[in-house]
């Protein structure tokens, strides 16, 4: 099958979903047209977190904050089951579940004066659930921080040509933030200059690899040093005013992502590689079941609870007009679906264009194809996002771009978006810990600096702690072993947010089936996944088993509390 056919179908369906389904949700359930309140960004403007922001800039910030490494890594691993299940879930999951979830979290947070999902859930249900929700989110965020830091450090070590452009981007972003907010310049011209500078350094970086190998460090030591430096950076970045670094960096990254995606899809149109993966891979020995693992593996590529944290934690405090929420909330998730689509096509078709490469799982390979890359589940999971970097790079190379430069472009793309998620996740974790300090009356956690340190240290421990994989028997970083739990708990957070949205709008006499059906489906798949994962930990790792069980208990308790509120009935209709 021609990969161009899959790309066109996916893009057309995404466009139709935004044009028609998003409009239905916006008018019939979220009632954007009826909102008359003051926007939180203006009501509580403080120049640090509450900052009224232009739609284009905020779209870039929100889009790149949610479009991290997960919608790249997840589909690259899920392609193990064939292209059919992955693409069906990515497209329809995004349109009918993920985008609806993100859009709703943003709208409700705006209506509730910029409160986070945890605070709103506490208001709708009770204070006890708010505390449980905060603990659940805190545990999830530590997994997010650990996984994304490991992704970035791994790519810095394996693709040292990406180090220069990624770090130069921080300096460029600080300059853009100064020009936009102190010099009051229009965003278009500085952003174009910034994009040109970024790609200039991408070009320079492809000839100037930077590595700690020059000071005698092996790959493991290099990765550890990068992890420490990245956590130090994320802590500082999360404390800076949002307009100084996060907004301009994400705005630049949004342009970079759009350019990168355009290059990939143009490459698909020109090269038109044949999809050499089967539509559906038959299960066999050593192959995990497609249900429910496919859904939690793809994770953010179709629906993500973390997006609700971004929408209610940072974006709702910056949006300046309720009408912008459709483009920013629903549209950004569609953009992430497009990224997951590109990642899948790179994995099932693009890698067939790669002549030779080094794979993390097996080393040097000639004439790469799907059967070689996905010869076993263990190799597919250890290769992670390599299919996107190699396959996407090969597609870009078909445009006449040199291989080294194309590979650097793809690596910078992945690292940049993992880094923006890292920045945002650290900031959100600070908010969550400060809210938790308020809820359980721990004075120290109310301090933004102490909360930032607490946000980082447990995640750092997960990245530096090596444990035995119960399946392979090999030593690995705890953060990677927790990836399936991250995927499951991330989707469960989405389910709990959908539960909150369902109750919120049901009490206001809105049609909630578009919220309730995704809530039920995601709850079933997630609890099943956590149950399967718990079985694999029994007798192998008591700590991971305990984490899994704690998450399940919190989930079931919150579901029970939500059911009690649902049974209590609706609010009286306004006369």
Average pLDDT of span 423-450:
86
Question: For the ranges 133-147, 223-237, 490-504, which has the lowest average pLDDT?
Answer: 133-147
Count helices and strands in the chain by DSSP H and E runs: 26, 4
Q: How far apart (Å, rounded) are the C-alpha atoms in residues 128 and 428? A: 21
pLDDT in tens, 509-556: 999 999 999 999 999 998 888 888 788 777 767 777 887 888 888 888
What is the DSSP pairing of strand 475-477 with strand 466-468?
antiparallel
* 126 pLDDT above the threshold of 60: yes
Q: 406 and 366 in contact (C-beta within 8 Å)? A: no
Question: For the ranges 15-19, 34-38, 94-98, 360-364, which has the lowest average pLDDT?
Answer: 360-364
Q: How far apart (Å, rounded) are the C-alpha atoms in residues 159 and 220? A: 14
Residue 461 confidence (pLDDT): 87
Average pLDDT of span 559-567:
86
Of the two residues 450 and 132, the one the predictor is more confident about is 450
Res. 17 pLDDT band, cuts 50 70 90: very high
Give me the chain's average pLDDT, please: 86
Question: CATH fold of 3-21+28-440+466-567, please?
Answer: Amino acid/polyamine transporter I (1.20.1740)
Which residues share a beta bridge with 319? 53
Residue 575 confidence (pLDDT): 43
| Element of type H or E holding 229 | helix 219-239
Residue 116 confidence (pLDDT): 86
Which of 261, 226, 262 lies closest to 419, judged by CA?
226
Of the two residues 490 and 467, the one the predictor is more confident about is 490
Q: How far apart (Å, rounded) are the C-alpha atoms in residues 60 and 257? A: 10
Question: Buried b / exposed e across 428-438, counting CB within 10 Å, b at 16+?
Answer: bbbbbbbbbbe
Which residues share a beta bridge with 356? 366
Residue 478 confidence (pLDDT): 67
Whether residue 292 has a cis bond before it, omega within 30° of 0: yes
Q: How far apart (Å, rounded) are the C-alpha atoms in residues 32 and 297? A: 33
Residue 431 confidence (pLDDT): 84
* 311 pLDDT above the threshold of 90: yes
Of the two residues 152 and 30, the one the predictor is more confident about is 30
Residue 471 confidence (pLDDT): 57
Residue 473 confidence (pLDDT): 63
Of the two residues 298 and 92, the one the predictor is more confident about is 92
Q: Is 385 exposed, middle or buried (0-12, 13-18, 19+ CB in 10 A)?
A: buried
Average pLDDT of span 61-82:
85
Q: 238 and 452 in contact (C-beta within 8 Å)? A: yes
Residue 112 confidence (pLDDT): 93
Residue 88 confidence (pLDDT): 96
What is the DSSP pairing of strand 475-477 with strand 363-366?
unpaired
Residue 249 confidence (pLDDT): 80
| 94: region left, alpha or beta (phi > 0 left; psi from -120 to 50 alpha) | alpha
Q: How far apart (Å, rounded) are the C-alpha atoms in residues 395 and 273? A: 9
* 501 pLDDT above the threshold of 70: yes
pLDDT in tens, 412-427: 888 887 887 788 889 8
Q: How far apart (Å, rounded) are the C-alpha atoms in residues 430 and 452? A: 5
Q: How far apart (Å, rounded) are the C-alpha atoms in residues 194 and 179? A: 12
- What distances in angstroms separate CA 198 from CA 162, 168, 170, 177, 270, one per listed residue? 11, 8, 10, 15, 26
């Amino acid at each position: 099958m021609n990969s161009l056919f899959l790309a066109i179908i996916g893009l057309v369906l995404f466009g139709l979903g935004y044009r028609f389904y998003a409009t239905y949700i916006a008018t019939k359930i979220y009632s954007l047209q009826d909102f008359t309140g003051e926007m939180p960004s203006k009501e509580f403007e403080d120049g640090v977190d509450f900052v009224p922001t232009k739609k284009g800039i905020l779209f870039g910030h929100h889009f790149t904050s949610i479009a991290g490494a997960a919608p790249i890594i997840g589909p690259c691993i899920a392609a193990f089951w064939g292209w059919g299940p992955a693409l069906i879930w990515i497209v329809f999951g995004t349109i009918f579940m993920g985008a609806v979830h993100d859009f709703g979290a943003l709208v409700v947070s705006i209506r509730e004066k910029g409160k986070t999902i945890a605070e709103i859930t506490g208001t709708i249900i009770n204070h006890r659930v708010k505390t449980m929700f905060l603990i659940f989110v805190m545990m999830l965020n530590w997994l997010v921080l650990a996984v994304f830091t490991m992704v970035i450090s791994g790519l810095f070590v394996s693709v040292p040509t990406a180090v220069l452009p990624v770090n130069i981007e921080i300096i460029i972003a600080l300059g853009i933030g100064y020009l936009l907010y102190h010099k009051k310049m229009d965003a278009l011209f500085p952003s174009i200059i910034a994009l040109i500078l970024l790609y200039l350094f991408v070009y320079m970086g492809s000839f100037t690899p930077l590595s700690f190998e020059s000071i005698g460090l092996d790959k493991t030591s290099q990765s550890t040093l990068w992890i420490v430096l990245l956590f130090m950076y994320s802590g500082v970045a999360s404390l800076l005013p949002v307009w100084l670094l996060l907004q301009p960096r994400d705005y630049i990254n949004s342009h970079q992502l759009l350019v990168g995606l355009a290059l990939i899809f143009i490459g698909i149109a020109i090269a038109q590689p044949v999809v050499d993966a089967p539509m559906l891979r038959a299960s066999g020995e050593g192959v995990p079941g497609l249900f429910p693992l496919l859904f939690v593996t793809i994770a953010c590529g179709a629906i993500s609870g973390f997006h609700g944290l971004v929408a209610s934690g940072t974006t709702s405090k910056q949006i300046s007009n309720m009408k912008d929420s459709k483009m920013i909330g629903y549209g950004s998730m569609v953009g992430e679906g497009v990224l997951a689509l590109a990642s899948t096509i790179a994995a099932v078709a693009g890698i067939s264009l790669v002549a030779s490469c080094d794979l993390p799982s097996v080393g040097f390979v000639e004439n790469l194809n799907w059967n070689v890359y996905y010869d076993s589940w263990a190799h597919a999971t250890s290769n992670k996002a390599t299919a996107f970097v190699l396959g996407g790079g090969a597609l870009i190379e078909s445009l006449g771009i040199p291989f080294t430069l194309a590979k650097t472009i793809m690596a910078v793309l992945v690292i940049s978006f993992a880094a923006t998620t890292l920045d945002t996740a650290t900031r959100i974790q600070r908010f969550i810990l400060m809210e938790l300090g308020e809820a359980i009356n721990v004075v120290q956690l109310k301090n933004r600096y102490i909360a930032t340190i607490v946000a980082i240290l447990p995640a750092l421990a997960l990245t530096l702690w090596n444990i035995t994989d119960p399946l392979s028997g090999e030593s690995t970083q705890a953060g990677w072993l927790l990836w399936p739990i991250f995927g499951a708990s991330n989707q469960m957070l989405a389910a709990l947010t959908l539960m909150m949205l369902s109750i919120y709008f049901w009490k206001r006499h809105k049609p909630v089936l578009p919220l309730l059906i995704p809530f039920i489906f995601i709850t079933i798949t997630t609890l099943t996944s956590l149950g399967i994962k718990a079985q694999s930990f029994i007798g192998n790792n008591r700590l991971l088993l305990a984490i899994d069980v704690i998450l399940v208990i919190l989930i079931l308790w919150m579901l029970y509390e939500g059911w009690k509120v649902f049974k209590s009935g609706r609010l009286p209709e306004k006369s």
